[in-house]
Each structure stands twice: as C-alpha cells, then as structure tokens.
Amino acid sequence: MTSVRRAAALLVASLLVLSAAAEARAAGYRYWSFWDRSGDRWTYATQGPASERPDDGSVRGFRFAVSADSSDANRPRGAADFGSICAKTPARAGTKRVALVLDFGTRADAPSGESPPDTRTVCARVSPDASTAEALAETAKPLRYDSNALLCAIAGYPARGCGEQVAADEKPSHQAAPEDHGPSVGLPLGIGVVAVLGGAAFWQARRRRDA
C-alpha cells in the first residue's frame, strides 16, 4: 500500500470514528428553525430570516425543538393560512403584510424549568423591503440573539440557552409524521465536506504521481 493510500485509509477510518463518537455523544441541538410556506406545505428555509425579504402575502414559520439537523426538524404546527392570519390587518399602501406562525414547541423540547407558550400566529405590517427578521421584531418582542447573530429566543422564549447540544439520552421522542421533517442538511454535511476534501486530496496526489 502506497503512502497516499495509507493516508486515505487513515482519513476514512478517522471519519468513521468521529462520526460514531458524535452520534453517541449528542442527539441534536435545541434551537429555533425557520420555515417558508409554499402553497400548503412548509419547506426548510434556505436563507436566514435576516436576509430573506418575503413578498406581501407570504407566510413564514418558526419552530422551537430539539433536532439533529433539518431532516430531523419538526415543522410549525397550527393554521398557516394568510387570509385567516391577516384577516384583521387590512392592506395599506406603501406596506406589505407577512403572516407568521410561531410554534414554541413541546414541553419535552423545553429547557429545564421552562414551559413553552402556546403556538400563536401574528400578522406583521412592515415596509416593502423589510426582512422576515424585521417582521418578527415588529410582532414578537423581545427577541434574543447571540454574538453570531443566531436567533435564540422569540417573545422571550426560551429565557436562556442558544442552540445548545443535547445528549442522546435527553432528546425527546417525537411521534411525528414523516411530512413533519425537512430536507437533510446540517451536521452530517460537515462530515461529508471533510470526506470530499479528503477524496480530492487523494486524487490530486495520484495525478501528480502518475504524471
């Protein structure tokens, strides 16, 4: 076995060990996930609420829960119809309306000593160029962010913590239907990126050797 192949084998073995260790140590993270409403379905947002600028008539959702990544994330629950949520907020020239579904999760997802508020819906009337984060700030204060601009709390919930890791034996067991989950991204992606980089290094070394 050449030195390049030995290095590649060592990299793969290391990744397998790291993956197994990470899975054993933690089942996920406790955080607010952000969702877009398209038709009658929720989809995991591809932009953060601070950068996304929804159109008038849009519906956006936030869900607090423990999940390993977006494939394990639960969608917001409750009604998500713009007409119903914004029925008492008439259109006004020079503004737009964004319907928000705020799902504070279950008691099992809550940090120790805290109880989640009931799911609520709000209609934000904001400027035409406002972001989802600005719409949220208009209707669900106080918000709390960490030093990396990660959304930690909506309407003051939770009172503490921000995206903390949750051990496997602490993860709540959700009896959720398959459609309650989003597309698979997140922590496994980091492992995949390392594997791709390792593979690229291997083939680059091989090309240099064969040249």
Q: What are 191-204's pLDDT values in tens digits?
A: 232 333 333 333 33
Cβ(43)–Cβ(182) under 8 Å?
yes
Average of per-residue pLDDT across 94-110:
97
Q: What is the pLDDT of residue 178?
A: 38
- Higher-pLDDT residue of 17 and 60 is 60
Answer positive or negative: Cα dihedral of 112, 115, 120, 126. Answer: negative
Q: What is the pLDDT of residue 88?
A: 96
- Higher-pLDDT residue of 206 and 55 is 55
| Distance separating the N- and C-terminal Cα atoms of the chain | 19
Query: Taking 60 as the threshold, does the pLDDT of residue 182 lie above it?
Result: no
Query: Taking 90 as the threshold, does the pLDDT of residue 60 lie above it?
Result: yes
Q: What is the CA radius of gyration of the chain?
A: 21
Average of per-residue pLDDT across 60-72:
89
Give CA–CA dist 22/15, Å, rounded: 10
44-54 residue pLDDT tens:
999 999 999 99
Per the structure block, which two tokens stand in for 34? Answer: 């952000």
Per the structure block, which two tokens stand in for 52? Answer: 């996304």
Cβ(73)–Cβ(42) under 8 Å?
no
